[in-house]
Chains A and B, each alone.
Chain A
């Protein structure tokens, strides 16, 4: 039992709605005890994938395994899953107690134990005294906690959550996010979480799965995906990036120059450059520089492995602890997000954009 098993495994899973392919040959594993997040733009197939795992939508092609058993044809009520919807989906005609007890009743748990388990679930979501209320007597956040309690009380093999926080307001969301993660850790339950909020995804996941057009663009630890996007889509979707075409040039050494199409030259690392199979001589690539990885300074302090591009601040958006700048360099606008110490830089100011070589991510160039 030492090796980690997979709670869920998708093998070449395809979902078609008529002519339209919503999910294309997806391969994915959800390891035991892990928190896996599907992140992607609207319509990319997150919900569809989740519903296939749940058994609410049938699979057109491929295999779905839960705890190493193929369950393609197993009806939903025989899969042991906890499901939480964006809309809570509590039974309005049943008390909170009966809502939570619902799944236990169908698992033939003796009456005496049901009370005990429900109480423990209510304690876990920190709402111990609401058992005899009805769902409409609770706030949205409380209802979502109850929905979570109802899903986990049955001790499911996998917990599936479809944008469970997006109906809540910003503060509550933050609080629930922490809560959800705490509960997930405490129970050690494999969880699939769907969101299109990137900060949620980055904060919560053990494994982040970025989806686009029914396919997985990239998966991995959040930090990895964030720092080393494998495609322009991921780079752009996670945070704000400056993506500029250029030519990788020069001999194989620690820092290598990238000549941008707009005329400037940046440095990148050998490791970054190595991700693009190099043909001899130069190679057309795209350089990706995250907006928050550019340091603005008023003076040019030369450093090893760092390039300073002079530019002029075009606009400043004050965001509280950070500010977003558009900096014009040779006629091109770069997006820069920097923390504010004391005062943000002023509009129209001349600044240097300091870009470290390790923050210059290299992607293969486009045909166009």
Chain B
């Protein structure tokens, strides 16, 4: 991770206010330092996580550096409970991302595109769902599942995860839809496209960056959700839940490796989306 734009010192030959070059240089340095602090703040915890995945630790705890090793990558699936949790988390996150993206995209389109009765209310609910404390959402989801008699497990986890991530997708898509030129769709229809063709060929490609961003967001929210999941998981353990229960005994380095892998995939997808968005314009 480099930050060339921030890193570069101010060119001394082109000061903006030549009368006070000293002040400008100082301001520039402060800005550069600030930039690095923010980057460090954001990345340091992740760097520590990645680093301790390579720690040649022998004890149960993985808090002190004892030398470099790749063995944990080879022994990734040695702990059955952790492996099961990891797979559960991935399956649930993928399902959540697919369902929440499909639903959220439609909600976002409706909110951004049309005027309808109950629109204000729908908007309100979207933002309420985003701002609602997870602990409250978790307890109310649990009582709802108990009341309706749906057995707790993977299904309730997916339902709960879709429930809190759909708003994020909807809001992301809605923001994009609002910037779209309405006449694009009219132009498509004018040129003989049916409603479905208009959506497939014009609307969807135009909102694709937002849809992808929404899907990534839903995946990320689901994969590391802890609070709501503790209420509705039943017998099923996800990756974060397993880590939490294991933490009293000591977290094995495999957890760091899995965290690193999840982060790497997420970061790669985000980069692909950003590059794609830039290319599409």
Q: Indicate, yes or no, whether A interacts with B.
A: no
A interface list, Cβ under 8 A from B: none
B interface list, Cβ under 8 A from A: none
